[in-house]
Amino acid sequence: MNRINSFPPIIDHCSEILILGSVPGAQSLKMQQYYAHPQNQFWKILFHLFDEPFSADYHQKIKVLKRHNVALWDVIESCERKGSLDTEIRNEIDNDIQQLIDNHPKIKIIFCNGQKSYKNLIKILGKDFKIPIVVLPSTSPLHTVKLEEKLEKWKVIKTYL
């Protein structure tokens, strides 16, 4: 099994909200873009939340994140995995989330995109971390909740903008 690596964080000195996934899926690794699978609803949800016109252009997507002070990263730095399923992740090494938070003191809340990122993050930081950690429904196409239901849960982000 091949070892895969996550991407560098998308973050700057203005970031106030951190969204964490688990580790990039096969399509994202191929494209070298966060949430590149066409059925992943991450970008649709964020553009809707921020009331931005949707763009398929990755550079535009990153600009939207930064314009709204949102940082993006994954909890897993590297792992072995067949395909894209979180359940297939083996021999994982965590990203240094604590260091990222320490280096970006404006971050006031962490949102986890799905249960895997949440469970890993709690192992890393503990349940009583200094800033709130909120788990949201996964935007993965494998998480078969309707877009409207996911969007409703993800709206909590707007209260921190």
* 110-130 per-position pLDDT tens digit: 999 999 999 999 999 998 999
pLDDT at residue 145, rounded to an integer: 85
Give residue 85's pLDDT band: very low, low, confident or very high (50, 70, 90): confident
Per-residue tokens: 33:
């873009």
Question: Quick check: is 40 catalytic?
Answer: yes
pLDDT at residue 161, rounded to an integer: 82
pLDDT in tens, 27-66: 999 999 999 999 999 999 999 999 999 999 999 999 999 9
Contact 94, 6 (CB under 8 A): no
Please tell me which residue in 40, 69, 113, 120 is annotated as part of the active site. 40
CA–CA separation, 115 and 130 (whole Å) = 20
Residue range 63-83: average pLDDT?
Answer: 96
- pTM, rounded to two decimals: 0.97
CB atoms within 10 A of CB 88: 12
CA–CA separation, 84 and 50 (whole Å) = 28
